[in-house]
Amino acid sequence: MNPQILRKHGEDMLAADVLSSKCPSRRVLSHLTSRWGVLVMVALMLDGQQRFSTLRRRVDGVSERMLAQTLQALEADGIVQRIDFKTVPPHVEYVLTPIGHEAAEKVTALAGWAEDNLDRLLAAAQSGATRDASNIVQLSGETHTEMS
DSSP alpha helix (H) spans, the chain:
25-32, 35-47, 52-58, 64-76, 98-116, 118-134
d(CA 40, CA 47): 10
pLDDT in tens, 52-105: 999 999 999 999 999 999 999 999 999 999 999 999 999 999 999 999 999 999
Average pLDDT over residues 5-25: 68
d(CA 81, CA 95): 5
Vertex 136: Cα angle to 131 and 142 (nearest 5): 170
Task: Tell which phi-psi region holds residue 10, choosing left (phi > 0), alpha (psi between -120 and 50) or beta.
Answer: left
The chain-wide mean pLDDT, for the chain, equals 84
d(CA 6, CA 1): 14
Q: What is the pTM of this model?
A: 0.74
Work out the pLDDT band at 2, boundaries 50, 70, 90: very low
* pLDDT score of 132: 66
d(CA 110, CA 66): 22
Q: Domains along the chain?
A: 1-32 (no CATH), 36-117 (1.10.10.10)
Q: Which residue has the higher pLDDT, 28 or 100?
A: 100
Inform me whether the pLDDT recorded for 8 exceeds 70. Answer: no
Work out the pLDDT band at 148, boundaries 50, 70, 90: very low
Work out the pLDDT band at 20, boundaries 50, 70, 90: confident
List all residues 6 or more positions away from 55 whose beta carbon is below 8 Å from its beta carbon. Answer: 40, 43, 44, 67, 71, 94
* pLDDT score of 106: 95
